[in-house]
Amino acid sequence: MTIGWHFDNSYSRLPKTFKENINPVAVNAPEILILNKDLANKLDLDFSNINDDDLSKIFSGNILPEGSNSIAQAYAGHQFGHFTMLGDGRAVLIGEHLTKNNERFDIQFKGSGRTPFSRSGDGRAVLGPMLREYIISEAMHFLKIPTTRSLAVVKTGEDVVREQISQGAILTRVALGHLRVGTFQYIAAKQNISDLEILINYTIEKYYPNIKSSKNKALDLLNVLIEKQTQLVIDWMRVGFIHGVMNTDNMSISGETIDYGPCAFMDVYDPKTVFSSIDQLGRYAYENQPKITKWNLTRFAECLIPLISANEDEAIKLATEALDKFEQNYETKWLNMMRDKLGLYGEDKEDKNLIMELLNWMYEKKADYTNTFIFLMNKTIKNSEIYDNADFNLWKTKWMKRLVMFGNTHNKSMDLMSSSNPMVIPRNHKIEEALTLANNGDLTLFNKLIEILKNPYQVNENDLELMSPAPHSHVKYQTFCGT
């Protein structure tokens, strides 16, 4: 099969403590459901002459590509604040593929069977959550938010027993890498400084070669990740994305959004929004995401202390100074992001008050977060009568005065807003509707949503229904850690 795989498996060459060699467990009757041809083209992979039967074997792991070297990665993690030794319990990294431009991408099969890290799990995944990760990760990519992506979904032809019996599936995930804060925690917990140094050098070589000649690699790596993760959480806040399970093993060192478990998008604006059924205390609520980002980065810093300085007190001081900049940096970036959403050029001392007035009004009136900004761009939305409101109109008058400050024009403001505010997001009720149909063999709505979400900033008004939040009659939306 001439597909174009070109593997160079650098992680496999690391010491054994970092991973376990393990192949995917073959499945009985694999059936390809989705192949992401756009992503395949980006990867310089050509599946055009491969029939569905062979595609099914490839993306189930029944046939492994030449040059691949399957491993399960070791890592640890703070899960809801509690430290646990983990590892890939139902995923294998089959290798690192190089494109013609020498770009490197991890190719991982998720749901591929038991590994040495599976503990009591079966290593398998359920169809619905794999399709869910596919559509939401692709939506995030087109929203211009750093993310892992999805290349294929295959049904395994085998049942998976959870709360009920479900269809099994395997997702092919593509990422810049699968290193996590939890990877560093795992190595740090082993208390082998040599391995920690290997990991830091590997990380810098793979992701951040610009700091390779740094005099303090560990400290500079901390600073780089603080910056990356600050920008990532800003992007999440911009579109109302709630990750739902921000454990340290789900914070990627490459700065990508990873592990779409109980994630969802906020409809009605409420800073305390939580969708995950297991997040009873709201640890990972929308408003807490920046705080948790810093908390996770602090756990990362703890791992690096031995290599920031031989003097522990000095190392802690340097790491603390780096982390202490997080709040101000986040606040500055958040303010600029919200200015973009409102089409505001320049900086005025009243900007934060103007922004908070709008957010408070949205909260009090239970206004839709995404659609409020669409309404301000003079676009048609359903249920716009909520904006026929004295308080809102008073705020809007202030906003329009601010728009023309600094010699700005209305058209420039609208262009800025159009690039910052999606017209369409993965609406939770529509995703669930598509998944219900897909579980019964009908991918029509799923494929339609995928196409619409490819152009989230320029949606056709004929797709207005897909832009709308769920009717108030819908029960409160809840997500589960199915992926």
Segment (H or E) for 71: strand 71-73
- Residue pair 382/472 in contact by the 8 Å Cβ criterion: no
| Angle, alpha carbons 67-71-75 (nearest 5°) | 145
Is 90 assigned a ligand-binding role in the annotation? yes
Diameter over CA atoms, the chain: 66
Beta strands in 186-246 (DSSP E): 241-242
Long-range contacts made by residues 306-314, C-beta under 8 angstroms, separation at least 24? 306/193, 306/196, 307/193, 307/196, 307/197, 307/200, 307/217, 307/218, 308/216, 308/218, 308/219, 308/222, 309/216
Q: What residue has token string 């901390």?
A: 222
Is 180 assigned a ligand-binding role in the annotation? yes
Selected catalytic residue, list 88, 220, 235, 249: 249
Is 123 assigned a ligand-binding role in the annotation? yes
Q: Where are the alpha helices (DSSP H) in 33-180?
A: 37-42, 52-60, 127-142
Listing DSSP states for 445-458 in one string gives HHHHHHHHHTSTTS
Is 119 assigned a ligand-binding role in the annotation? no
Beta strands in 131-275 (DSSP E): 149-161, 165-175, 241-242, 264-265
Name the phi and psi angles at 365, rounded to 5.
-95, 0
Is 110 assigned a ligand-binding role in the annotation? yes
Nearest to 160 by CA among 121, 126, 193: 126
- Residue pair 428/471 in contact by the 8 Å Cβ criterion: no
> Known catalytic residue: 368?
no
User: Which residues, at least 6 apart from 311, have a Cβ–Cβ distance to it below 8 Å?
Assistant: none
Give the bridge partners for 425, in sequence order: none
Is 259 assigned a ligand-binding role in the annotation? yes
Q: In this structure, what is the dihedral angle of CA atoms 348, 354, 359, 360, given to the nearest 10 degrees?
A: 140
7 DSSP assignment: B
- Residue pair 280/170 in contact by the 8 Å Cβ criterion: no
- Residue pair 282/292 in contact by the 8 Å Cβ criterion: no
Helix (H, G, I), strand (E, B) or coil at 469: coil
What distance, in Å, lies between the first and last C-alpha atoms of the chain? 31
Listing DSSP states for 385-410 in one string gives GGG--HHHHHHHHHHHHHHTGGG--H
Is 89 assigned a ligand-binding role in the annotation? yes
Is 299 assigned a ligand-binding role in the annotation? no
Q: In this structure, what is the dihedral angle of CA atoms 327, 329, 332, 333, given to the nearest 10 degrees?
A: -110
Nearest to 354 by CA among 371, 376, 380: 376
Q: Which residues participate in the annotated binding site?
A: 87, 89-90, 110, 122-123, 173, 180, 250, 259
Q: Which residues participate in the annotated binding site for ATP?
A: 87, 89-90, 110, 122-123, 173, 180, 259
State the catalytic residues: 249
Q: Which residues participate in the annotated binding site for Mg(2+)?
A: 250, 259
